[in-house]
Amino acid sequence: MNKNLDLFLTFMKIGAFTFGGGYAMIPLIQREVCDNKKWLNEDDILEVVAIAESTPGPVAINAATFVGSRTAGTLGAVCATLGVVLPSFLIISVISSVLKAFQESKAVQYAFMGIRAGVLALILKAVYTMFMATKKHAVSYVIMAAALVLTAFLKIDAVFVIIGCGLFGLLWSILNRKEQSDDMD
């Protein structure tokens, strides 16, 4: 089979069978791309995770573009990305019209009132998981608290908070490196 078509179909399958998205997709990519198709090896998958973590954008798109580009160049990247996006796109298009039809129903409104409490629990779990994965360091805690206060209470635009914290991290690491090299002298 044509490699580009193969990439498209494989990532369409990955997109159609991952719930929750993001990192939930990694094991599936591993099985399809390493074990079944042998396009990449295990080390490459670790690289996919590293790259997804350190570049902007949704993990799924990062991973699809990276694998596609490694396997079959730019056209491969287009095919893989298109494949991973297509199932969500089609499913949500259908669901949005269904949702609209049921929105007026009292039962659906009640259901969503309950669901919101459940989603709140899922968000709390996400905060906890990401907190545990962050470096245990005083500076990290300060940035965390600052980002929380800036977004939640001072209503600063999320983009500015991200840019600000990124620059702060960069400055801090440069200053630290200087100190370390000063110590060595």
Q: If binding means CB under 8 A, how many residues of this protein chain bind another protein?
A: 100
> Could you tell me which stretch among 1-9, 29-37, 74-82 binds another protein (CB under 8 A)?
74-82
> Could you tell me which stretch among 2-10, 35-43, 104-112 binds another protein (CB under 8 A)?
104-112
Strand (E) or helix (H) holding 132: helix 106-133
Binding of another protein by 113 (CB under 8 A): yes
Query: Angle formed by the axes of helices 59-102 and 3-17, to 10°?
Result: 50
> Could you tell me which stretch among 3-11, 32-40, 158-166 binds another protein (CB under 8 A)?
158-166
Q: Is 37:1 a contact under the CB 8 Å cutoff? A: no
Q: Which residues contact 70 (CB under 8 A, 6 or more apart)?
A: 39, 40, 44, 76
Binding of another protein by 126 (CB under 8 A): yes
Binding of another protein by 178 (CB under 8 A): no
Give the position of tokens 């990305």: 81
Binding of another protein by 138 (CB under 8 A): no
Task: Give CA–CA dist 185/183, Å, rounded.
Answer: 6
Instruction: Provide, rounded to whole angstroms, the least separation between the CB of residue 93 and another protein.
Output: 6
Binding of another protein by 177 (CB under 8 A): yes
Q: Centre a 10 Å sphere on the Cβ of residue 162 and count the other Cβ atoms it contains.
A: 13
Binding of another protein by 20 (CB under 8 A): yes
Pick 2 or 56: Cβ nearer another protein: 56
Pick 6 or 80: Cβ nearer another protein: 80
Instruction: Provide, rounded to whole angstroms, the least separation between the CB of residue 34 and another protein.
Output: 17
Pick 118 or 184: Cβ nearer another protein: 118
Task: Give CA–CA dist 64/173, Å, rounded.
Answer: 31
Q: Is 23:59 a contact under the CB 8 Å cutoff? A: yes
Per-residue x/- marks for another protein, 25-44, CB under 8 A? Answer: x-------------------
Locate 169 and state its tokens. Answer: 């991290």
